[in-house]
Amino acid sequence: MTSHRLAILLLAGGLLCGQAVLAAEPAIPAPCDPAVRPCLATEGWLITERVWTPGGADPRDLVGGRVQAEVRWHRWRWAARGDATGIPGTYQAGDWRTVRSVEGHVASAFDVLRLPGGVTFGPAAGFGAAVTLEEGLLGAKPTLPKRVTAGLGFRASWPGGFLWAVAGQHQALRGVAGVAVWQVRLSDHVANVGRFAVGANNWTSTIGVAVRLK
């Protein structure tokens, strides 16, 4: 076999092997288009946060987990978030006996404005409630708050973050209150999370850091 024929055979074999390797690679799925069908996005986070409560009490630290989901369809958004938190040093991820509080929230928004760069803005409505537990989730008697969190306002989002702001009532405050909830991405897997509520005579705030679960 001449050197020319050998080179041709090696080149053909390389091309065939390259095509086989490319064919074996999994196809990257196309991103979901909410204009065509409803799109679901879910996230799981480990969170650590400091809570300032009404009445001038000392702030307390909490750790726990968060699961949130959002469905987008055309300009509509439906979101849900659930938190389970405990006391640092006693909370163990996956052990429900160490959970001291559970809260859940649902909200809906309509993207009236869509600005360049993925920025959206529109009216929103939200509702939520919390359950506190004195001895952990298993075998404990839950204590419901006197009020729930609910209100009407707006939602703004941008690549890497969002802000919900509503006026209504907050479970820790009496009377009408303004409530803001935000999440701002600090890196691919870390975000700043927080909540702030202010009423006629008092306020409460929660600020923390969340690490995304892979």
The enclosing domain of 143 has a CATH number of 2.40.128
Q: Which residues span the domain enclosing 55?
A: 38-212
Q: Strand (E) positions, 56-136?
A: 60-73, 76-86, 101-110, 113-115, 119-132
Q: Is residue 28 part of a domain?
A: no
Does residue 14 fall inside a structural domain? no
Reading the chain (214 residues) residue by residue, the pLDDT tens digits are 555 554 444 444 544 444 444 445 556 667 899 999 999 999 999 999 999 988 778 899 999 999 999 999 999 999 999 999 999 988 888 888 888 889 999 999 999 999 999 999 999 999 999 888 766 666 666 666 667 899 999 999 999 999 999 999 998 898 999 999 999 999 999 999 999 999 988 999 999 999 999 7
Number of domains observed in the structure of the chain: 1
Tell me, yes or no, whether 63 lies in a domain.
yes
Q: Is residue 154 part of a domain?
A: yes
CA distance 184 to 194: 9
- For residue 25, being part of any structural domain is answered with no
Within a domain: residue 96? yes
Q: pTM of the predicted model, to two decimals?
A: 0.81
Q: Is residue 88 included in any domain, yes or no?
A: yes
